[in-house]
Amino acid sequence: MPHLENALSASDQPLLATPLNALHIELGARMVPFAGYSMPVQYPSGLMAEHHHTRNAAGLFDVSHMGQLRLVGPDAAAALESLIPVDVIDLPVGKQRYGLLLTEEGTIIDDLMFFNKGNEEIFVVVNGACKVGDIAHIQAKIGRRCQVIPMPEMALLALQGPQAVTALSRLAPGVEKLVFMSGGNFCVNTGSEQIDVFLTRSGYTGEDGFEISVHAARAEALARALLAQPEVKPIGLGARNSLRLEAGLCLYGNDIDTHTNPVEANLLWAMQKVRRTGGARAGGFPGADKILAAIAAGAAPGTRKRVGLVALERIPVREHTPLQDAAGQPIGEVTSGLLGPTINQCVAMGYVSAEHAALGTQINAIVRGKPVPMVVSAMPFVPNRYFRG
């Protein structure tokens, strides 16, 4: 797993507690600093058991460190679209998309999720380590076009795994009708109270599941009700990282940052045709000229690409490990890597020069001065199991 403490936003500041901190301690979690919060890295069963439980049943994650905000007003969708290279205006009500907040150079400030709630309102979730800067950036750029309303009073839980829908639908009938990247307002019946939530059928593990926004005052009651379901166990940051890497999903600060752009990060799947050259609303986002030119250039010499890598030996390859070609020349660096518990192979992602990015290309990772052979491989490493209906 990566050095999770690297995401601590200000090491000289006291750590914040999520609304579930007392529950984590009660459950025996090992707590670590992450994004300025004290967060559970694992529970007594350990990372491997938590990972497998999520893949086979349902895992509950506390992701309340994430930033939640509302963009409200008749110009909200167009305003957000001016900041990201994604189609916001045409997103149907009740649907969610992945987006990238960009600098004027076209590099990535953060990745985010946004949802069209209707009634001129867009709901946005940003990464915890970036949320203060993200919200300030959004406010400065579009605060005169729409209301930018942070939601610090809200907690966020993620229920992930093939049995997540079974567990949640007992408490909130109707969630089973949702499909991937859709959502809405629901009422969760804990047996002793009714808890209003907003949720989407999405997540960060490659599995079916839900992300649930709930008022902080009701978060612990909701978590206890979910953990009372036989399919559900608590899961920490360690397994969250191994699950997302097997799913081929980027971790901000490791795999994407302000030194990477969507083209080299292989994230063009998130950029709809309407925003590309020839589209009805082509460009119009920060760094558009550079990004559209890079798309046109393709894998030009001197460019790099994010790729998946599978080790041919059982030696974990961690972030910052140098990558070399067969002649020993440097060609890139690993950004995330570990032993994938589901596939029982050492997997990684990283950036390599474009001429070494083709599937099947064999390269070497240099681990403690010795070459470890790796093969450029397709991602995800474990097939996604999103529910699409």
**pLDDT tens column, 63-92:** 999 999 999 999 999 999 999 999 999 999
Angstrom distance (rounded) from CA 90 to CA 352: 35
% pLDDT > 70, the chain: 97
Residue 12: the pLDDT is 58
Residue 302: pLDDT band by 50, 70, 90 thresholds?
confident
Q: What domains appear along the chain, each with residue ranges and CATH number?
A: 4-63+153-246 (3.30.1360.120), 303-381 (2.40.30.110)
pLDDT digits (tens, 9 = 90+) for 167-226: 999 999 999 999 999 999 999 999 999 999 999 999 999 999 999 999 999 999 999 999
301 pLDDT more than 90: no
pTM of the model: 0.95
Name the least confident of 126-140, 294-308, 313-327, 375-389: 294-308
d(CA 110, CA 98): 11
How far, in Å, CA of 89 to CA of 285, rounded? 13
Would the pLDDT of 2 be above 60?
Answer: no
Residue 5 has pLDDT above 60, yes or no: no
Q: How confident is the model at residue 105 (pLDDT cuts 50, 70, 90)?
A: very high
Q: Indicate if the pLDDT at residue 50 is higher than 80.
A: yes
Look at residue 9 and tell me whether its pLDDT is greater than 70.
Answer: no
Give how far the C-alpha of residue 172 lies from the chain's centroid of Cα atoms, to the nearest Å. Answer: 25
CA angle 244, 246, 251 (to 5 degrees): 35
Average pLDDT, the chain: 95
CA 286 to chain centre: 22
| Residue 4, pLDDT score | 41
CA distances from 9 to 5, 21, 111, 133 (A): 9, 19, 17, 11
**Distance between CA 21 and CA 29 in Å, rounded?**
9
Evaluate whether 39 touches 18 at the Cβ level (below 8 Å). yes
